[in-house]
A and B are shown apart, each in its own frame.
Chain A
């Protein structure tokens, strides 16, 4: 009798079985273990650490969306933050009247509609020119919001939610409550992502990315597929934006600028394009980088010896963040274009047959 826990490959014997994601008990167990760890984690952390964690998970949802548009369909989008903003502002406007489990899907739907519209240039232009079209949307979004009195001209709009089904959400448990909401949403979005992309839709997106002429000959409409890629990517961004609005208790335009869009692209690349694991690792890595750079610049400010070297009037701290950010992206593109996902893959394949070499 073979031991299913010692299984190192797959024992699939039917086409139904071959459609499943996990081949071994150990793979399922590791996912369950990860989920349990994520459920317990906030209980062991301080409020400020949960705050960082929340940002990472929200960004992970947005990056998942970007991984559909850019990772799967190969359409470079530098408007992901703007789509996130569409979701957030929809939530900000509807939150006084509707509960959050309605406003967030509504925000996602509106963002998806915007995504489909912004995707229209993709029917004609490709590559960098398309990226410019999304860049234009990003800038138009920020400009428009900044001039709309209904949206407080980009200043803070409060989004209040004080209790949920009788459960009081105050200053002390705010971060923890939203952590679980965000985690639950993220899990749902990951499952949907995986299921959607392993079927015909995922194949259509890849086909259009690799060779849209051949995709056309295979009976898929490249135009519709591209629009769908944009709409789906924006949908994920909309969900992330809605969650961000509730979690931050306000919507401000600074959260949805070009810098954020580029940041999402960086997260997707550093994590590894087109993968779930990459969508989680990328945001975690970039956020951690930001945190440690902030800590590092604090240390520089406190250190007398270094302060003497630096000429007066130069603020090293504010230069460090973009510098490290750019350096990391360049290094990843040069030495590990497949991103952190590839490291994770190597480690995993090593442990598959561990402790044996082969």
Chain B
């Protein structure tokens, strides 16, 4: 197993956001996490990516312990994340936003940076090449030198995913990449997600509210409700599970 989340708990004061959540993701899998609002999906993602530290349980990724790791350490282990509410750098161009993500791959020191010619240039060009591949992959060529703040919402969402991809991750965490998109944009995004997995072999964890999308593309689905995993398995198993139906549509009272 590439990612192991073992009985993770998280509390904010008296509110238990997560209790004994366990999750296993294998290399190359596309796993979705679904659940009603406030079920703890984003909290779980925050625990994995180091923004929150769980108060119980353990998270490991390829042997690295993530339980107490800070976000930049988690990133260095090969986990990238696209945020739910776009957290791009609005004052920078698309290209700069993506180059930013190459920070950990830029191994040169202050002196080499000042001298420019030499390692800094070589690394810079190599980074540019990687980023250009991502731009090509996500069809962002028209926006390369545009300021992110000026771009429409759908494109910014795509840049957000592209930036995560520029980190050359082994595991990609996508937090509602299709929220607020039109049907056409959603179809495009689904295509990108499937292509990322097919071409790069990246493991993907997807949080999404559009159940149609989730059931179509996921290998396995975890269902969270009130901070607990209430069901897991293939899309068919999960959608026929009575507890899931109860969480989503409620129970009929006689």
Helix, strand, loop or mixed for chain A's interface? Answer: helix
B124 contacts which chain A residues (CB < 8 A)? 15, 19, 199
Please give, as numbers and ranges, the residues of chain A lying within 8 Å of B70 by CB-CB distance: 216, 221
CB distance from A219 to the nearest CB of B (A): 4
A218 touches B129 (CB 8 A): no
B108 to chain A: which residues have CB within 8 Å?
Answer: 199-200
Complex formed: what's the CA distance from A213 to B72 in Å?
A: 10
B113 to chain A, nearest CB (A): 5
In the complex, the chain B residue whose C-beta lies closest to that of A199 is B113
User: Are A219 and B72 in contact (CB-based, < 8 A)?
Assistant: yes
State whether A216 and B89 are in contact (beta carbons under 8 Å apart), knowing that A195-B115, A200-B106 are contacts in the complex.
no
CB-CB < 8 A to A215: which residues of B? 100
- Given the interface contacts A15-B129, A196-B114, A200-B113, does A219 sit within 8 Å of B101 by beta carbon? yes
Check A19 against B87 for contact (C-beta < 8 Å).
no
Which residues on the A side are within 8 Å of B99 (C-beta)? Answer: 200, 203
A217 at the interface (CB under 8 A from B): yes
CA distance A19 to B121 in the complex (A): 8
Query: Does A206 interact with chain B (Cβ within 8 Å)?
Result: yes
Chain B neighbourhood of A218, CB < 8 A: 72, 75, 100-101, 103, 163, 167
B-side interface size class: 35 or more
Residues of A191-210 at the interface with B, using a CB-CB cut-off of 8 Å, are: 191-192, 195-196, 199-201, 203-204, 206-207, 210
Contact assessment for A213 and B113 in the assembled complex, using a CB-CB cutoff below 8 Å: no
A204 contacts B88, CB within 8 Å? no
Cβ of A16 within 8 Å of any chain B Cβ, yes or no, is: yes
Query: What residue of chain B has the Cβ atom nearest to residue A197's Cβ?
Result: B113
CB-CB contacts of B98-116 with A at 8 A, as 1s and 0s? 0111111010101001111
CB of B104 within 8 A of CB of A219, answer: yes
Determine whether B202 belongs to the interface, using a CB cutoff of 8 Å to chain A: no
CB neighbours of B61 from chain A (8 A) = none
A221–B72 alpha-carbon span in the complex (Å): 6
Complex contacts, A207 vs chain B, CB 8 Å: 89, 100
Q: Is the CB of A220 within 8 A of B113?
A: no
Contacts of B89 in A (CB 8 A): 206-207, 210-211, 214
Q: How far is the CB of B36 from chain A (nearest CB, A)?
A: 26
Which positions in B face A, CB cutoff 8 Å? 49-51, 70-72, 75-76, 80-81, 83, 87-92, 96, 99-104, 106, 108, 110, 113-116, 120-121, 124-125, 128-129, 132, 163, 167
